[in-house]
Amino acid sequence: MSKYGYCCLINKADGVYLALVPGDSVSTQLTYEDVDRYMTQLKFMFDKTAVANQLRTLTEVCEMKLSDTPLKFPVPETLVITVGQDRLEAKGKFYPPTKGGAFMTRDDIYDRLRNAGIKYGANELNMNIFMNDRVYGKEVVLAQALMPVEGKNAVITYYFNVDLTRKPQTNEDGSVDFHKLDNISTVHKGDMIASLVPADEGKPGIDVCGNVIRQKKVEKKILRHANKIYLSEDKTKMYSEVDGHASLVEDKVFVSDNYEVAADVGPSTGDINYEGNVTIKGNVNSGYTVYAHGDIIVEGVVEAATLIADGQIILKRGIQGGGKGLLKAKSNVIAKFIESAEVISEGYIQTEAIMHSSVSARGDVIVTGKRGLITGGEVRSITMISMKSAGNSMGTRTLLEVGVAPEILDETRRLEKETPAMLQEIDKIDQILVAYAKKVKSGEKLDARILSSVKDSMEKKKLLSEAVAANQERLNKLIEMTDSNANGCIRVQDTIYPGCRITISNVCYYVKNEIQHSRFIKEGADIRVTML
């Protein structure tokens, strides 16, 4: 059994002594802190330096005289209690009484705990162990906290495809197989489409001082849905009321019937605005708009029309936009070809050709198939642009940009255009103000109308100056964001021609000679070309 170091007072005829009893190992050795707590509790003064020096070499019992006057009354058995900073445990060390001093009872121990602010978790087993075998100097756990029971977050499981990042299957020649898209989640009437395991909040605990120990907060969830859906009585299961398509938009489930246009979108249909998915069997004529809260599928050709979808846009033939066509999707855009149109996708874009268009995507832009070409216009992606060929032998200007969100580039360009215009306006106002100042200096009096105009010009200058400062601050932040983003690459399977400009983040590369089978990436302040 280990021997624990401790200290105690000894009352003798010639005075009071402090006995220092060593332990038999480093972990059981008597420490200065033990002596200090013990003597402080008894309110006895002692030579701290002498005690500290003695403890450094303590190997056997040492008695140090404290006073020449004996104690009038014996000192009872003593308990020194320490409480951890986290109040999860209260520990105590017992010290022996002087000759004739009383031993502590269980009630005495409880009184000392209460005096130390301990209100919960008393450990009677450890008290009994001590009273049956009084070992001094040993640290005893006298009270323990009730630890909280941690809860669990709510979990929602969806039984339809919520991952719209999957790309369609391609044929051996690289063309898209529109018969195997699998990105539209078909549901049938009565299908369970989602289930909820509610959050378990757990239980709070109590520390040894009686304070509540809060368990970690859990994430609570409910099944959120739109029309054509119903819940079970306990609100933990979700079912479809109709045959249709399910989609998840910002944690809310939508089920809709598919609106089908049997022929063209044109004079006979007017513009289309539909809550679910829209399938168009024919073409979309110039000047018309199709808006869908779900997906848009067009089996014919889209002309100079506008298609906006909260889901995907799928064009089984393509778009000939005539410089006015617009495709805008919160998910992916898949088209046979894109010509003279603007395309904005928050997912990926996959097509067989992009010609003279403005195309931007948050995900990949993949141009593959028999042609796999990008010619003219500009194509932007945060992640990757992959194609067979870019530009052409005639040197058609073609811009390829990766690594930065399209909206950041648009805002940067807008600010770079706006700020010089505002500075020019400020310069014009300054010239006018200087002219009026010269008139005043020469002694000419300005009438009320001119003074009002001067006041208006000064106010306009102030507003413009503030706008320029705000623009510059925002532009600096955008440039910093652009500089810090070195991701993204451009892949050319066949040939990239002169006339193409590559931008990765803030670094530009002008293609001056034909390059084959290449990959463009950013390294530091340069763009490096590697072979595929």
Tokens 């009352």 sit at which residue?
11
- Specify the pLDDT at position 475: 72
- Specify the pLDDT at position 179: 46
- 408's CB contacts (< 8 A; 6+ apart) are 478, 481, 482
Q: What amino acid is encoded at 240 in this protein?
A: S
Mean pLDDT, the chain cut into blocks of 10 residues (532 residues total): 87 94 93 95 93 94 94 94 95 96 95 96 96 95 97 95 71 66 74 96 96 95 93 96 85 85 88 86 95 92 96 96 96 96 96 96 92 95 94 94 74 79 86 81 79 84 84 72 67 95 89 94 86 84
Q: How far apart are CA 308 and CA 329, in angstroms?
A: 6
- Where are the domains positioned within the chain? 6-144, 258-322, 409-484
- Specify the pLDDT at position 250: 85
Are 255 and 236 in contact, with CB atoms under 8 Å apart? no
Dihedral angle, C-alpha 463, 465, 467, 472, nearest 10 °: -170
For the whole prediction, is pTM greater than 0.85? no
- Helix 48-56 with 32-42: angle, nearest 10 deg: 150
- Specify the pLDDT at position 482: 57
- Helix 448-484 with 406-441: angle, nearest 10 deg: 150
Write the DSSP string, 314-356: EESSEEEEEEEEEEEESS-EEES-EEEEEEEESS-EEESEEEE
As separate numbers, helices (DSSP H) first and strands (DSSP E) second, the chain gives 6, 38
Burial 112-139 (b: 16+ CB within 10 A, else e): bbeebebebbbbeebbeebeeeeebbbe
- Specify the pLDDT at position 212: 97
Q: How far apart are CA 197 and CA 117, in angstroms?
A: 41
Dihedral angle, C-alpha 459, 460, 466, 471, nearest 10 °: 170
